[in-house]
Structure 1
């Protein structure tokens, strides 16, 4: 069965899903963000097959979300976030907020995030880049953009 290519759709959500929509990709990005950079470490942490992890890492490198850095002459590589990948982690932090609110249960969130600027444990909050006010689904209207499909 051939995979649908979302990258051709005139939709930013679909295009993003083409990059990270496979279920292992966000978890690979999470691990790399958390400092797990080597193939064997990522595989051990996720319990993912070598074949699937190789495919995911290759895809994320091709998409310029991760970069390979050699650390051994064999060759062996570490994986690090690119600027594009760091910005994708922002998206994952929004997912964390939702998961912490709706799925964490009585035990509470499994990870806390301390903000460098103030030193406090906090959560991501979506804000308008123009006025700084909160920006959530009920606060916006959808308008056709310059890249809309007719």
Structure 2
């Protein structure tokens, strides 16, 4: 158990899923990045129970994905605005759209990612820091500077 928690704590995928990997959290972020801001807007869009929505919104605020801003004092009302961290999550959701369309849209594509200006469909890609495109099959995960010995051993399967 101790070993598993150490690996999870060090793994960026596990850390990310801990904060946004729950079904409702991802759908709330989808809606927030699409412009919804208020509790009643999320509730209408998702059909989620109010207590569950409150918990998920609070979790996303705690994770730094959304910022809670008051828009009414009497009665107290808040809107939820994506932070820079939340905006960065957009690429994750767009990758999920593309992946879902590729593998699970048997009835046809109902939503697609397009270039705003031209309306042309786009696909997620990997690029170097300088902007050069890199084929996905040419990418791999390697230990980073802060990787533990265990993580280095796990990723360097030599």
Structure 1 distance, partners of 2:112, 2:69, is 29
The SS at the match of 1:9 is: helix
What is the alpha-carbon distance in structure 2 between the residues aligned to residue 6 and residue 88 of structure 1? Answer: 25
Larger of the two Rg values belongs to structure: 2
- Is the Cα–Cα contact under 8 Å of residues 6 and 15 in structure 1 kept in the other structure? no
How much has 1:5 moved relative to structure 2? 7.2
State the alpha-carbon separation in 2 of the partners of residues 141 and 27 from structure 1: 28
Q: Distance in 1 between matches of 2:148 and 2:71?
A: 45
Match of 1:76?
A: 77
Alignment coverage as a number of residue pairs: 144
Q: Which segments of 5 or more consecutive residues in structure 2 lack a partner in the other structure?
A: 150-158
Partner of 2:35: 35
Runs (5+) with no aligned partner, structure 1:
none
Partners of 2:54 and 2:5 lie apart in 1 by: 20
Distance apart, 1:16 and its partner CA: 0.7
What's the TM-score, normalizing by structure 2? 0.81
Partner of 1:99: 100
Are 2:47 and 1:44 equivalent residues in the alignment? no
Following superposition, the deviation at residue 112 of structure 1 comes to 3.2
More helix by share: 2
Structure possessing the higher relative contact order (Cα contacts under 8 Å, 6 or more residues apart): 1
Q: Is 2:63 the partner of 1:63?
A: yes
| Structure 1 partner of 2:153 | none
Q: Give the superposition deviation at 1:149.
A: 2.1
CA contact (8 A) 2:43 2:53 kept: yes
TM-score normalised over the length of structure 1: 0.85
CA distance in 1, matches of 2:140, 2:89: 24
